[in-house]
Amino acid sequence: MIDALNQRTEYGYDLAGNLTSVKDASNHVTEYRYDALNRRVDTVLPMGQLSRVTYDAVGNMASFTNANGETITYEYDALNRLTKKVLPSETFTMTYASIGKLASVTDSRGTTTYSYDARQRLTEQIDPDGQFLRYGYNAANLRTAITTASGTTTFTYDKYKELQTVTDATGAVTTYNYDKAGNLIETDLANGVIEKRSYDLLNRLTQIESKKDSTVIFSAAYTLDNAGMRTKVVENLAGYSRTVNYTYDGLYRLLSENDGVSGTSYTYSPTGNRLTKTSGGVTANYVYDANDRLLTDGTATFTYDSNGNKKTETKDGVTTTYTWDAENRLKATEGGGTSTVYDYDYSGIRVSQTVNGVETRFLVDKNRNYAQVLAEYAPSGTVFASYTYGSDLISQDRNGTKSFYVYDGLGSTRALTDATGNVTDTYNYDAYGNLSSSTGTTVNSYLYAGEQFDKNLGDYYLRDRYYSTDIGRFTQRDRFDGVMNNPLSLNRYGYTHGNPVNGTDPSGMFLLEQAAVNRIIATLAAIYFVSYSRGSSGSRLTGLPQSERPIPPISLAEGLPLQVSIRELNTCASLNDPYCSRTGIPTVVYTAKDLPGHASHINAAQNGQGNTISSDARNPSIFPQYRLPATLHYGSEQPRTFLDRTSHCNQSARDAWTSQFHWISPACDEYPFNSSIEGGETRYNMGYVSLQLLDDLESSTQGGLMGAFYQRARVNFGDIFGVVTMPNNAGERSFWITREGRTERPIGW
Q: How many CB atoms lie within 10 A of CB 258?
A: 15
Nearest to 488 by CA among 305, 304, 292, 310: 292
pLDDT in tens, 275-291: 999 999 999 999 999 99
Kindly tell me the number of DSSP H helices and DSSP E strands found in the chain: 6, 54
pLDDT at 310 over 90: yes
Looking at residue 42, its pLDDT comes to 95
Looking at residue 99, its pLDDT comes to 77
Looking at residue 663, its pLDDT comes to 64
- 36 versus 585: the higher-pLDDT residue is 36
Nearest to 391 by CA among 550, 582, 164, 563: 164
- 218 versus 368: the higher-pLDDT residue is 218
Looking at residue 324, its pLDDT comes to 98
Looking at residue 621, its pLDDT comes to 35
Domain final residue, candidates 66, 88, 110: 88
Percent of the chain with pLDDT over 70: 86
Looking at residue 298, its pLDDT comes to 94
HSE-CB for 749 with a 13 A CA cutoff: 24
Domain presence at residue 612: yes
Looking at residue 484, its pLDDT comes to 64
CA distance 524 to 606: 14
Domain presence at residue 412: no
pLDDT at 713 over 90: no
pLDDT in tens, 319-351: 999 999 999 999 999 999 999 999 999 989 999
* Mean predicted confidence (pLDDT) in 143-164: 93
Please say whether the beta carbons of 558 and 727 come within 8 A: yes
pLDDT at 554 over 50: no
Strands (E), 189-335: 193-199, 205-212, 215-224, 230-237, 240-248, 254-258, 263-268, 274-279, 282-285, 287-288, 294-296, 300-304, 310-315, 318-324, 330-335
Q: Which is it for strands 473-474 and 338-344: parallel, antiparallel or unpaired?
A: unpaired
pLDDT in tens, 4-60: 899 999 999 999 888 899 999 999 999 999 999 888 899 999 999 999 999 998 888
Domain presence at residue 697: yes
* Mean predicted confidence (pLDDT) in 586-596: 86
* Mean predicted confidence (pLDDT) in 509-528: 44
pLDDT at 578 over 70: no
* Residue 361 DSSP symbol: E
* Beta bridge partners of residue 736, listed in sequence order: 588, 744
* Residue 599 DSSP symbol: H
* Residue 550 DSSP symbol: P
Domain with 552 in it: 514-744
* Residue 81 DSSP symbol: -
Domain presence at residue 96: no
HSE-CB for 10 with a 13 A CA cutoff: 8
pLDDT in tens, 364-381: 999 887 899 999 999 999
* Beta bridge partners of residue 406, listed in sequence order: 415
How far is residue 351 from each of residues 151, 341, 584, 715, measured CA to CA in Å?
20, 11, 35, 31
pLDDT at 579 over 70: no
Our count of domains for the chain comes to 2
Angle of the 596-606 helix axis to the 696-712 helix axis, nearest 10: 70
How far is residue 1 from each of residues 5, 24, 144, 169, 452, measured CA to CA in Å?
11, 10, 48, 54, 37
Please say whether the beta carbons of 649 and 642 come within 8 A: no
Domain final residue, candidates 73, 88, 103: 88
Q: How many CB atoms lie within 10 A of CB 466?
A: 21
Angle subtended at Cα 397 by Cα 414 and Cα 153, rounded to the nearest 5 degrees: 105
Domain presence at residue 566: yes
Q: Which of 189-203, 331-345, 658-672 is predicted with the least confidence, judged by mean pLDDT? A: 658-672
* Mean predicted confidence (pLDDT) in 389-418: 97
pLDDT in tens, 68-119: 999 999 999 988 888 999 999 999 999 998 877 889 999 999 999 999 988 8
Looking at residue 662, its pLDDT comes to 62
Burial class (CB in 10 A: 0-12, 13-18, 19+), 522: middle
Helix or strand or coil: residue 742? coil
Helix or strand or coil: residue 601? helix
Q: How many CB atoms lie within 10 A of CB 256?
A: 14
pLDDT at 463 over 80: yes
CA distance 140 to 162: 12
Domain presence at residue 636: yes
Nearest to 446 by CA among 503, 499, 403: 403
Radius of gyration for the alpha carbons in the chain, expressed in angstroms and rounded: 26
Q: 154: pLDDT confidence band, cut at 50, 70 and 90?
A: very high
Looking at residue 525, its pLDDT comes to 42
CA distance 172 to 161: 21
Domain presence at residue 201: no
With a CB cutoff of 8 Å and minimum separation 6, the contacts of 545 are none
Looking at residue 730, its pLDDT comes to 59
Residue type, 698: E
Nearest to 212 by CA among 420, 497, 452, 370: 420
Domain final residue, candidates 36, 65, 88: 88
pLDDT at 417 over 80: yes
Looking at residue 677, its pLDDT comes to 87
Cα distance from N-terminal residue to C-terminal residue, the chain: 29
Q: Which of 63-67, 528-532, 574-578, 636-640 is predicted with the least confidence, judged by mean pLDDT? A: 528-532
Q: 686: pLDDT confidence band, cut at 50, 70 and 90?
A: confident
pLDDT in tens, 131-142: 999 999 988 778
Looking at residue 522, its pLDDT comes to 45
CA distance 685 to 683: 5
Looking at residue 584, its pLDDT comes to 55
Looking at residue 691, its pLDDT comes to 94
pLDDT at 237 over 80: yes
Q: Which is it for strands 40-44 and 29-34: parallel, antiparallel or unpaired?
A: antiparallel
Burial class (CB in 10 A: 0-12, 13-18, 19+), 642: middle
Q: Which of 336-345, 479-488, 550-559 is predicted with the least confidence, judged by mean pLDDT? A: 550-559
Looking at residue 483, its pLDDT comes to 63
CA distance 414 to 434: 13
If you average pLDDT over every residue of the chain, what do you get? Answer: 85
Strands (E), 269-410: 274-279, 282-285, 287-288, 294-296, 300-304, 310-315, 318-324, 330-335, 338-344, 350-355, 358-365, 372-377, 383-389, 393-398, 401-407
* Mean predicted confidence (pLDDT) in 470-494: 85
The predicted model scores a pTM of 0.74
Domain presence at residue 498: no
Looking at residue 568, its pLDDT comes to 35
* Beta bridge partners of residue 236, listed in sequence order: 219, 241
159, 163, 164, 169 alpha-carbon torsion, rounded to 10°: 140
